[in-house]
A = this chain, B = another copy of it.
């Protein structure tokens, strides 16, 4: 019999719920507003209603729940004062398990993305993996010997917050010169403004890159330089078999990937050269978050 899990992605604006089988196929999905001003005690019954509806429609019984949320800690099961939500700190794992009577796992989206790449993406069979999500921010999910690197207290893998430009741009975290301040969509918008002197839509520039547009080459070239440098620092420490890039910024496609690969090879520790694959995620972007959330349930051996 096919097994299903609930994958739940809680974002600052919307929440997504999906019912996903062991092959990573999505049987059903639903999106609803998170309502960031509401408390968790009001959010949870709203979510329950949607889950119940989804299970009634599909007639499936899930074996577990995976939840992706900002600042979620896999080790403690807690969400600590998520930015953009008025929740304070919540024991997400405990509250979900009490309400749904199902084993529940929580983690942040970059760690979840890394697990879904192992299970259903281009990193099948890879034991040492670095996954970098390039969206509003830059997140990193690290797989060591087949397991997510959580570090001593959970929440390891903040590669978006290593300094790549001394005394550089302010970063959303309060630091300066971090990879995220340059290679995220937010950072690239600043680069566009700096180089072109005006606001040009990033997605449009990504399309222009495919036809060899000069400005696009300049902007993405600049971003590839920073990204190649940051990835090289991470890979010089971790020596993974593969680096997988995901998130909206990667819509720019293969030309951008080639630029990143070239900078990465230039900056990586010399004995590691030519040994680490750098790829774009093959998973569907719009469902990446619920796939990620669902993947940790299977990855943690719930059958």
Contacts and interface: CB of A to CB of B under 8 A. Distances in A.
Contacts of A240: 151-152
Contacts of A234: 237
A270 B163 contact: no
Contacts of A157: 237, 239
A142 B275 contact: no
A267 interface: yes
Q: How many monomers of this chain does the complex have?
A: 2
Which among A126, A158, A166, A240 has the greatest number of chain B C-beta atoms within 10 A?
A158
B269 A238 contact: no
A19 B203 CA distance: 64
A302 to B, nearest CB: 21
A120 to B, nearest CB: 20
A145 B147 contact: yes
A106 to B, nearest CB: 17
Given A173-B270, A269-B175, A270-B175, A237 B159 contact: yes
Nearest to A154: B239
A76 interface: no
A144 B148 CA distance: 11
A276 B153 CA distance: 10
Contacts of A162: 232-233, 236-237
Interface string A270-292: 11100110000000000000000
B239 A237 contact: no
A230 to B, nearest CB: 10
18 contacts: A140-B237, A151-B238, A152-B275, A152-B276, A153-B241, A153-B275, A155-B239, A158-B236, A158-B237, A158-B269, A159-B236, A161-B269, A163-B164, A164-B166, A173-B270, A175-B270, A233-B233, A237-B238
Given A145-B147, A151-B240, 11 more contacts: A128-B151, A140-B237, A150-B239, A152-B276, A156-B239, A157-B237, A158-B236, A162-B232, A163-B232, A165-B166, A175-B267
